[in-house]
Amino acid sequence: MFNVQPLSKQYESEFWSEINNKTKPLGALGQLETLVIQVLNIQSEIHGKLIKPVQINYPHLLVFAGDHGIADYGVSIAPSAVTGQMVNNFAANGAAINVFSKQLGWQLDVIDAGILQPINSISIRRQRLGCGTKPFHIEPAMSHTIMEQGFVFAKALVHEKFNEGCDLIAFGEMGIGNTSSASAIMSAIMELPAVESVGCGTGIDQETLLKKQQLIQQALDHHRIPKENVLDILATYGGFEIVQICGAMLAAAERKIPIVVDGFICTAAAMIAKLIDPNVQDYFIFAHSSGEQGHDKMLQWFDAKPLLNLNMRLGEGTGAALCLPLIQSALAFYNEMASFEQANVVNVVSDI
């Protein structure tokens, strides 16, 4: 369904030459330098040799919401009804992601991927795969047919945004119980016991944490899916929102759109996407190190260095949203910062 091409990086040496000739010591802008190189490499795949200014003109953030059958078994401080209540909050522009998107310039869409009850709002897009998943510690969360329909929905949505001019994309999620799904996916892929992947989510107490770990370990022992069977892992442990985020990541990479990867749940989707097509990682910009247990291990699995570490664990795409000014700043210094020659400054480094 997806055909992701690796980055050719044909102009990368030229990009580095220009960056290294800016009025600064070599490497002095740290991760901003590697960040701008990545964005330039991606954009040059579409536009060829880039002419300044190189910009992000239409960043888009898609928040997918879905409910989880395992939430009925006491793995969260909140009932599943809160998912729908928060989607209503998104529709009313009252959530953190609404505030950050408005402040920073993201175009925001909220997608009902399969919450318990559909929301009657023109601002919520319906791409429903059902009324929540099955409890995956008892049976697979969904069938392969439903999972594949999620990929179809996601691909169509991303292509629509691409045709509207989207040149940077990020994803967020909402779903009571979705840290359980992400933990199970992580454990299945990395072959870890649940105690190493399951964290406190939205802030559960120790008793609930132990129950959550036990149920996820029960699921892992019950299904025993080899890590190579990535689609089985996704269908068995995933959520409707995680499926569509995974598909959207692959579709965005296929269209050569840089992808800002949010926290724990979105990184679980990214793990699946990478195993489906390893080339997708060329397009990943890792936003932040989440406060959720297990996320650092996920990032190590990717050999990724995130842009931020703010101990955030809200979800919704909030960590990804906050990275937009960093990406824009990286492009701005590439576009506007003077070279040593332009500024009549001695390039001490080149003279050594």
Per residue, what are the HEC states of 332-343? HHHHHCCEHHHH
pLDDT of residue 141: 98
Among residues 232, 195, 236, 200, the alpha carbon closest in space to that of 217 is found at: 195
Q: Is 140 left (phi over 0), alpha (psi -120 to 50) or beta?
A: beta
pLDDT of residue 227: 96
28 DSSP assignment: T
Q: Is 341 a catalytic residue?
A: no
Contacts of 132 (CB under 8 A, 6+ apart): 66, 67, 68, 69, 71, 80, 114, 115, 116, 240
Tokens of 269: 């989707």
pLDDT of residue 40: 98
pLDDT digits (tens, 9 = 90+) for 102-159: 999 999 999 999 999 999 999 999 999 999 999 999 999 999 999 999 999 999 999 9
Angle between helices 206-223 and 178-190 (to 10 degrees): 50
pLDDT of residue 201: 74
pLDDT digits (tens, 9 = 90+) for 262-311: 999 999 999 999 999 999 999 999 999 998 989 999 999 999 999 999 99
Does residue 8 surpass a pLDDT of 50?
yes
Q: Are the C-beta atoms of residues 175 and 69 closer than 8 Å to each other? A: no
pLDDT mean across residues, the chain: 96
Strand 259-261, strand 168-174: pairing: parallel
Mean pLDDT over 154-183 rounds to 98
More confident residue, 159 or 1: 159
pLDDT of residue 204: 85
Residue 248 to residues 30, 64, 270, 329: CA-CA distances in angstroms? 30, 10, 10, 26
Separation between Cα atoms, residue 90 and residue 88, nearest integer Å:
5
Does residue 346 surpass a pLDDT of 80?
yes
pLDDT of residue 128: 98
Does residue 352 surpass a pLDDT of 80?
no
pLDDT of residue 157: 98
Strand 59-66, strand 124-126: pairing: unpaired
Given 148, 316, 336, 341, the catalytic residue: 316
SS3 64: strand
Share of the chain above pLDDT 90, in %: 94
Mean pLDDT over 38-63 rounds to 95
Does residue 174 surpass a pLDDT of 50?
yes
pLDDT digits (tens, 9 = 90+) for 209-257: 999 999 999 999 999 999 999 999 999 999 999 999 999 999 999 999 9
Buried-state track 187-219, b at ≥16 Cβ within 10 A, e below 16:
bbbbebebeebbbbbeebeeebbeebbebbbeb
Separation between Cα atoms, residue 166 and residue 282, nearest integer Å:
18
pTM exceeding the 0.85 threshold for the entire prediction: yes
Does residue 37 surpass a pLDDT of 80?
yes
Strand 59-66, strand 107-114: pairing: parallel
Mean pLDDT over 32-49 rounds to 96
